[in-house]
């Protein structure tokens, strides 16, 4: 084999794959580049608007959650106060029963069982006073 074709001139060069691929890549024109820049600019504006909307929605959700948490804490405190008030009201009724029972005991009675009941009555009264209740 020779590098010269049959007619005697130099053999034409064959193109490499890299050259063929480079030729296949289309170089965009200035007009195409300007259009692409314009499209990308619009997409950027849309993306920023969407990001601002998401930020606003997130901030609103965070504020809503904060308000929900505050309301829940307030409701929990209110329920606790009502529960304490109901319990104290029931304990006052029991304390009244203690008072009536002890009022019916003769003053000179020295039974240890009666002294135990008086001790329980005093403890209950002290607990209520510690909670700010004066029966």
Looking up tokens 């130099």, which residue turns up?
A: 10
Q: State pTM to two decimals.
A: 0.48
Closest by CA to 92, choosing from 58, 132, 35, 64, is 132
Domain residues of the chain, as ranges?
Answer: 21-130
List the pLDDT tens digit at each of the 135 positions of the chain: 455 555 666 666 787 888 878 777 878 889 999 999 999 999 999 999 999 999 999 999 999 999 999 999 999 999 988 988 888 889 899 999 988 988 888 888 888 888 898 899 999 999 999 988 886
Closest by CA to 117, choosing from 131, 92, 132, 100, is 100
């Amino acid at each position: 084999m020779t590098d010269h074709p049959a007619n005697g001139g130099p053999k034409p060069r064959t193109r490499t794959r890299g050259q063929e691929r480079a030729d296949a890549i289309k170089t965009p024109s200035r007009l195409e580049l300007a259009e692409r820049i314009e499209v990308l600019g619009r997409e950027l504006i849309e993306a920023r608007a969407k990001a601002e909307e998401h930020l606003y929605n997130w901030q609103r959700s965070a504020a809503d959650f904060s308000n929900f948490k505050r309301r829940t804490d307030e409701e929990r405190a209110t329920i606790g106060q009502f529960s304490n008030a109901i319990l104290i009201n029931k304990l006052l009724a029991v304390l009244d029963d203690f008072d009536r029972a002890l009022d019916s005991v003769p003053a000179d009675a020295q039974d240890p069982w009666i002294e135990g009941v008086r001790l329980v009555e005093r403890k209950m009264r002290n607990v209520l006073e510690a909670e700010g209740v004066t029966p």
